[in-house]
Amino acid sequence: MSFALILNLVWHVGTLALIALGLAIVFGKLRILNMAHGEFVMIGAYSPVITSSMGLPGWLQLPVCLLTVGLVALAVERTVVCRLYGRMFDSLLATWGISILLREAVELIFGRGYQSVSLPIPGTVQIFGTSYPAYRIAIIGCIALGFAILAWWNSRSMVATRIKAMVENPGLAQAVGINTGRLSAWAFVFGCCTAGLAGLALAPTIRVEPMMGLDYLIKSFFALVVGGLGTLEGLGLGAGIIAGTQSLVGAALNQTYGYLAVLSLSILFLWLKPDGIHSALR
Amino acid sequence: MTGNLAKLFACAALPLALASGPVIAEIKIGVLVPDSGPGGLFGPSTRNSAMLAADKINRSGGINGEQIELIFADVGVPPAEAAQAALRLWKGEGVEAFVGMHDSAVREALLGRFAGQVPYVYTPVYEGNSCAPGLYITGETPSQQLAPVIPFVMDKESVSKWYLIGHDYNWPRDTNALARQFIADAGGDVVGEEYVPFTVSDFDSSLQRIGDSGADAVLVTLVGGGSVGFNVSFGSFGMDEQAIRLGTLIEENTLAGIGADNANRLYSSAGYFGSIETEAAATFAAEYAAAFGTDAPALNGLGQSAYEGLMLLAALANKAGSLNVQAMDAAAEGTAWSTPRGDNTLKGRHMAQTIYLADGTGGTFTIIASFENVSSSEACSS
Amino acid sequence: MASILLYASLLLAVLLPIPVLFGDFTAYQIGLYLIYGIAAQGIGFLWGKTGVLPLGQAIFFGVSAYAGAMSLRIADGLALQLAAAAGIVLLLSAAAFVLAFLIFRGRSESGPYFSLITLALAMIAEQIAGAATEFTGGFNGFSGFASLGGLDPFGNLYYIIAAAATGMSLLLFAINRLPANLIARAVADNEPRLQLLGFPTHTVKGLAFAFSAASAALAGILFASHQGIVTPTSTGFALSAELVILTAIGGRFHVLGPLIGAIVVGWASAELRFNFPYWELLMAAAFIVVVLKAPGGIAELLEKSIQRISPDLPIEESDRTGAPMPKGRRIVGSLEFENVHLMVGVVRILNGVSFATPDTGIISIIGPNGAGKTSALNAITGHLRLSSGTIRLVGDRVNSRPPWKALESGIGRKLQVPSVFNSLSIAENIAISMLADRASWADYLRTDAFNWRSEELSRVLNRQGVPLKNSNEKQAGKLPQGHRQFLEFALAIASKPSLLLLDEPCAGLSPEETALMTSLVREFQENSGSLVIVIEHDMSIVEATSDKVLVLNHGEAIAFDSYEAVRNDPEVVAVYAGGTK
């Protein structure tokens, strides 16, 4: 039975890391506190609802998800977020408003009711004597692969460096020919898309409704805080600590203590190690 | 400015008034529904049910010969704002009685402000034991939902080891305290009990505990989205093979969110389901479909409770001869009337009613048993 | 003072007739909005002035409401109830002070970490309030208590609330004119500069947070009486966010802004909720527009359309009075580095630097870029912690103490890039420098301190050619960089430091201004007898001003002698090989 505990842990850490990744890009690179991040998880989770309501085949869920989330994110960036670079607290307030707008918009289109998304891969498989949902195993594999590719790309690509240059010195970055406006927009859209992907992956395993985003927002903010900004290892550690605390304390004592432990741990980190555990290890 | 805005948006509210028809209203009744917040899901079906009730009351002569008009207010907001919305109807719009479908915190806030000066019917499922002058209750209390159902289910499914899981607040705790007693009486054991904060959306560790406990039955008192999340995970882990589930607040919307894949051996106990096949219930469902179309928000126990509330108000006010709280309190005990739920009697301010047990297997509710005239043990003494 | 009373009587004139004109129910509604408004005023004070955004004010609101409700259940008689209320407010604001003090200690900015901590605390509070059913009544709430003094929530209680809102506004208007307000604003503007002027900014922020907590707690007490029930939502995240939104929409920079915001938003959402099912959509859109287009909120829009009533500082030089003496140590003496090592991460910045200056005079530090010159100054003022070694001033160890303690030891500093309070006027900048190390607690609550002038400061300000005269009202941020150098110099010398650290004071100055600056530095040194340390690249300035020159290279002191001796030192020549500079 303890192996199921490990698999649960991997599942929660993986999905949380995926959500927090987008938040880390948007907050770490653009200094935007995106309170609407959870709503992009929500929109991603609605993409199977979109495909089935339009009668599209199931394999289109992924492109529909990326397209919908990407377009909404681009619209949000171009209309609101692009005016907020360098105004961190204002970005928090404005995106709080955006999160309400997105919730209400989804409610207008799909209604407030719960949506049921069926599992693309039904049933359970036996792993080391534990029966575990096959779908979750598949998603864990995809997330692991995705992060491996990202780590490889991050170590080789210039884009991360450019974004960093842009945030630290927008004037200079512009002067050396980096299109800061376009780069910011893409970074924001990319960040929101990872949230959307996480939403799509989670959809068959959770409740899907307009208000679902908030849970994920708070948790991924804390994962970010604990892990520290700027590195993938930190992100993984942060997600691991937050999801792990909830899972382990939740399993050992009860869910209420698990929740309180996550909050208390986050407070301690914010207070004593505001740059996160990664900086503490260095 | 707000005046203009009000005019502008009044048109948005127009279609909602259609079902009531052009009546010359003499009595205004405030109907408190959750339009915003987590309960907002039940706003539309609650409004619709209330309008059907008003129509029915007016067609059968109104209250003491006077026609009624409904005025709705959104109480899906925190208690302070909800109380304001209700007081606005009472003090501002001259509402003479209230029917409310909202959470218990709002009820407690309203009771403090109404102070027994205005009749108030509280309609949703709740934990019981709320007693105040002028307060009448149609909602099912835990004893009604569990006393007949637990022995029945244990016998039918041959289960005896119960695991109790609920959200961390009053209603689940009160429900489970009673459930323990009914389970023991029926010869079963409680092998685990746990409460989950509203903010927790992952139930994996709870599911693991349920698996480890060897339970063959789970009593679910999670509400709304939490219930959906729990049951979805329960199904995807294949735990429906290990244990049956019984919920006391799983209605049609929650079941839709859980989905057919995850609803195997999922039972629900309530005073109303959209699929009750008695003549009264079928007529009601047909009228609902005729008035609001086939795409209308699904009928469910919470939304339909507003209908019950208005019918109780009418029956009681007609019996008392007025909407005066003292007169109604004096006449209340033993008031009897019939609704889509069946034949009801008011006992200790609470409604003794028929309780239905439904099976959600396949994603829709099938009524498998009904228990008539079940009275509440959490009713008021007087 | 007159305009404070004007505001207050205007506010009372608006609030008092409401029950008579619009009836009890409207007064009841406005009462609730005012209660939220009082809590929001506290947020406005904290956020608008110090720049600290609290996301969990409902902790104080809710805990106070619960405690107030419990005390109302137990305590009989108005006097006892008011005493209990006062006790609750005091306790909560003390707790808030300790929280902010601990979190902000050792930091010089107010990043999002504090906001997130308060948010997490609110979430914890809401969870506990919901689960501790025995004490709080759980989700269903805590009820069954009479209101304060048995007042009718639909009647006389309104006047108590209106009085509280007016009282809070009066207090805020009064604070606005005090030196305390200036210091609070300076925190948001330039916290590192304020620390160098000797202000423990974590204490300032702690006090501001305590004040905001007190206003939230006061609102919570009133809320309990007004509602007759307290539920976990009163102490949770949603209410906290709501209060911030009220503050932002109403305007955080103005005393009445949050009150206006609470009434406008409360009223609009009550109307819309009643008439329009998607009212949240409209409210959210309006909120976004305010954040993007009018960060100062409704109050600022109103203020712009009316004439600005400016509170302002007296400007007649003849009104100036002598200031009290600085409280800290002002003993002139030698600065000693003893084998100072300094590492940042893995980079060695200072590598065993040792020297001892004469007791007085002007010392220049020169060296190529990256030699560790500015880091040496940062080590003296405590911005960087030494890896090993000791720095002594007149025999006392000064290293590894927080920057705000530097001035207490007599160390004044001008930073490399001119660091002044950009959003404040020149007069306000100067007033802060005069409060530095001189003001007692009471002085922050008296306007007298605005008239203070020290001899050192007057000498600079009155000096022919110093570009600060007759522009008292001008915003410091609008000055050209060169002028800001003079302003920062004035701020640094106002409290007559015994050790003055100047980091490239002549950068960006014209030749005339450079001459003026060097003569100001020399005059300050001659008049005060202080020790002055200057980082300078221009060798002609070094030659003209220095009594001794310290040469740093790669984190090591390679020479410390007179200008002539240093110029002929072969090691120094090697470092500067090929250049005359």
Partnered with residue C343 across adjacent β-strands are: C348
Residue C581 has a pLDDT of 40
Is residue C351 a contact partner of residue C369, using CB atoms and an 8 Å limit?
Answer: no
**Of residues B313 and A58, more confidently modeled:** B313
* Nearest Cβ partner for B228 among A133, A207, A247: A207
Quick one: B132 and B184 in the same domain? no
Which of C50, C99, C115, C117 should be substituted to probe chain A, the one whose Cβ sees the most A Cβ atoms within 10 Å?
C117
CATH number for the domain including B118?
A: 3.40.50.2300
Residue B15 has a pLDDT of 40
**H or E segment at A235?**
helix A232-252
Contacts across the A-C interface (CB distance below 8 Å): 83
Quick one: B153 and B256 in the same domain? yes
Flag if B35 and C28 touch (Cβ within 8 Å): no
- The answer to whether residue B18 is domain-embedded is no
Cα gap B144→C219, rounded to integer Å: 42
Cα gap A206→A45, rounded to integer Å: 9
Of A8-22, A118-132, B68-82, least confident by mean pLDDT is A118-132
Q: B264 at the A interface (CB within 8 A)?
A: no
- The answer to whether residue B17 is domain-embedded is no
pLDDT range class, residue B57, cuts 50, 70, 90: very high
Mean pLDDT across C5-11: 85
Residue B11 has a pLDDT of 38
**Residue in C with minimal Cα distance to B196:** C131
Residues in A closer than 8 angstroms to B363, CB to CB, are 116
Using a 10 angstrom Cβ sphere, with 0-12 exposed, 13-18 middle and 19 or more buried, the burial of residue A196 is buried
Q: C22 at the B interface (CB within 8 A)?
A: no
Looking at the predicted structure, is the pLDDT value of residue C124 above 60? Answer: yes
Cα gap C423→C144, rounded to integer Å: 51
Using a 10 angstrom Cβ sphere, with 0-12 exposed, 13-18 middle and 19 or more buried, the burial of residue C369 is exposed
Quick one: B127 and B149 in the same domain? no
Q: B173 at the A interface (CB within 8 A)?
A: no
Q: A274 at the C interface (CB within 8 A)?
A: yes
Cα gap C383→C129, rounded to integer Å: 42
Is residue B281 a contact partner of residue B252, using CB atoms and an 8 Å limit?
Answer: no
Residues in B closer than 8 angstroms to A136, CB to CB, are 236
Flag if B36 and C29 touch (Cβ within 8 Å): no
Looking at the predicted structure, is the pLDDT value of residue A200 above 90? Answer: yes
Looking at the predicted structure, is the pLDDT value of residue A280 above 90? Answer: no
Mean pLDDT across A220-239: 85
pLDDT range class, residue C109, cuts 50, 70, 90: confident
pLDDT range class, residue C469, cuts 50, 70, 90: confident
* Nearest Cβ partner for C131 among A97, A225, A256: A256
For chain C, the distance separating the N- and C-terminal CA atoms, rounded to the nearest angstrom, is 58
Looking at the predicted structure, is the pLDDT value of residue B268 above 70? Answer: yes
Looking at the predicted structure, is the pLDDT value of residue C254 above 80? Answer: yes
- The answer to whether residue B243 is domain-embedded is yes
Partnered with residue B351 across adjacent β-strands are: B346
Mean pLDDT across A164-182: 66
What is the DSSP code (8-state) at residue B91? I
* Min Cα–Cα distance to chain C from B75, Å: 9
Please identify which residue in the block is written with the tokens 């003026």. C516
**Domain hosting residue B317, numbered range:** 25-140+277-347
Looking at the predicted structure, is the pLDDT value of residue B202 above 80? Answer: yes
Q: Where are the beta strands (DSSP E) in C47-199?
A: 142-143
Average pLDDT, chain C: 89
Q: C281 at the B interface (CB within 8 A)?
A: no
- Digit-coded pLDDT (tens) for C37-74: 999 999 999 999 999 999 999 999 999 999 999 999 99
Integer-rounded Cα Rg, in Å, for chain B is 21
Q: Classify B97 as helix, strand or coil.
A: strand
Residue A171 has a pLDDT of 63
Q: What share of chain C is helix, strand, coil (3-state, %, to 5)?
A: 60, 10, 30
Q: A30 at the C interface (CB within 8 A)?
A: no
- Digit-coded pLDDT (tens) for C512-558: 999 999 999 999 999 989 999 999 888 888 988 899 999 998 888 88
Quick one: B89 and B238 in the same domain? no
Looking at the predicted structure, is the pLDDT value of residue B97 above 60? Answer: yes
- Digit-coded pLDDT (tens) for C313-359: 545 555 577 788 888 888 899 999 999 999 887 788 899 999 999 99
Residue B10 has a pLDDT of 39
* Min Cα–Cα distance to chain C from A282, Å: 9
Residues in A closer than 8 angstroms to C284, CB to CB, are 97-98, 100-101, 104
Quick one: B67 and B120 in the same domain? yes
**Residue in C with minimal Cα distance to B71:** C274
Mean pLDDT across C25-31: 93
Residues 138-177 of B with CB under 8 A from C: 168-171, 173
- Digit-coded pLDDT (tens) for B153-193: 999 999 999 999 999 999 999 999 999 999 999 999 999 99
Q: How far is residue C71 CA from its own chain's centroid?
A: 35
**Residue in C with minimal Cα distance to A215:** C123
Considering B270, B300, B322, which residue would you say is the last residue of a domain?
A: B270
- The two structure tokens encoding residue A57: 């085949």
- Digit-coded pLDDT (tens) for B333-368: 999 999 999 999 999 999 999 999 999 999 999 999
Q: B194 at the C interface (CB within 8 A)?
A: no
Cα gap A169→B74, rounded to integer Å: 49
Residues in B closer than 8 angstroms to C238, CB to CB, are 78
Cα gap B171→B180, rounded to integer Å: 14
pLDDT range class, residue A174, cuts 50, 70, 90: low
Flag if B78 and C227 touch (Cβ within 8 Å): no
**Residue in A with minimal Cα distance to C53:** A89
Residue A282 has a pLDDT of 41
- Digit-coded pLDDT (tens) for C162-217: 999 999 999 999 999 899 999 999 999 999 999 999 999 999 999 999 999 999 99
Mean pLDDT across C367-379: 89
* Min Cα–Cα distance to chain C from A221, Å: 9
Other CB atoms within 10 A of residue B27 CB: 18
Residue A175 has a pLDDT of 64
Please work out, in degrees rounded to the nearest 5, the angle formed at the alpha carbon of residue C345 by the alpha carbons of C341 and C350. 25
* Min Cα–Cα distance to chain C from A134, Å: 35
Question: How far, in Å, are C41, C262, C267 from residue C296 at the CA level?
Answer: 14, 15, 20
- The two structure tokens encoding residue B140: 């099912």
Residue A151 has a pLDDT of 84
Average pLDDT, chain B: 90
Nearest C-alpha neighbor of C448 from the set C323, C325, C334: C323
Looking at the predicted structure, is the pLDDT value of residue C32 above 90? Answer: yes
- φ and ψ at residue B197, rounded to 5 degrees: -65, 150
Question: How far, in Å, are A157, A231, A263, C532 from residue C350 at the CA level?
Answer: 35, 29, 41, 21
Q: How far is residue C95 CA from its own chain's centroid?
A: 20
Nearest C-alpha neighbor of A206 from the set A124, A114, A122, A99: A114
Residue C319 has a pLDDT of 58
Quick one: B150 and B266 in the same domain? yes
Q: C128 at the B interface (CB within 8 A)?
A: no
Cα gap C70→C506, rounded to integer Å: 64
Q: How far is residue A128 CA from its own chain's centroid?
A: 30
Beta-carbon contacts of C136 under 8 Å, excluding residues fewer than 6 positions away, are C66, C129, C130, C142, C230, C232
- The answer to whether residue B357 is domain-embedded is no
Is residue C246 a contact partner of residue C255, using CB atoms and an 8 Å limit?
Answer: no
Nearest C-alpha neighbor of B125 from the set B308, B256, B323, B293: B308
Domains of chain C (ranges; CATH) run: 2-236 (no CATH), 335-575 (3.40.50.300)
Looking at chain B, the whole-number percentage of residues with pLDDT higher than 70 is 93
Looking at chain C, the whole-number percentage of residues with pLDDT higher than 70 is 96
What is the DSSP code (8-state) at residue B296? S
Residues in A closer than 8 angstroms to C124, CB to CB, are 260, 263-264
Residues in A closer than 8 angstroms to C248, CB to CB, are 93
Residue A163 has a pLDDT of 64
Flag if C271 and B6 touch (Cβ within 8 Å): yes
Looking at the predicted structure, is the pLDDT value of residue B71 above 70? Answer: yes
Please identify which residue in the block is written with the tokens 């929650």. B254
Is residue C511 a contact partner of residue C538, using CB atoms and an 8 Å limit?
Answer: no
pLDDT range class, residue C580, cuts 50, 70, 90: very low
Integer-rounded Cα Rg, in Å, for chain C is 28
What is the number of domains present in chain B? Answer: 2
Other CB atoms within 10 A of residue A82 CB: 14
Residues in B closer than 8 angstroms to C138, CB to CB, are 169-170, 173
- Digit-coded pLDDT (tens) for C439-452: 888 899 888 888 88
* Min Cα–Cα distance to chain A from C96, Å: 15
* Min Cα–Cα distance to chain B from A135, Å: 9
- Digit-coded pLDDT (tens) for C202-252: 999 999 999 999 999 999 999 999 999 999 999 999 999 999 999 999 999
Mean pLDDT across A267-275: 87
Quick one: B67 and B162 in the same domain? no
Residue A14 has a pLDDT of 93
Cα gap B125→B311, rounded to integer Å: 17
Residue C306 has a pLDDT of 61
* Nearest Cβ partner for A1 among B208, B256, B363: B208
Cα gap C34→C430, rounded to integer Å: 37
Q: What share of chain A is helix, strand, coil (3-state, %, to 5)?
A: 80, 5, 20
Residues in A closer than 8 angstroms to B173, CB to CB, are none
- φ and ψ at residue A214, rounded to 5 degrees: -60, -40
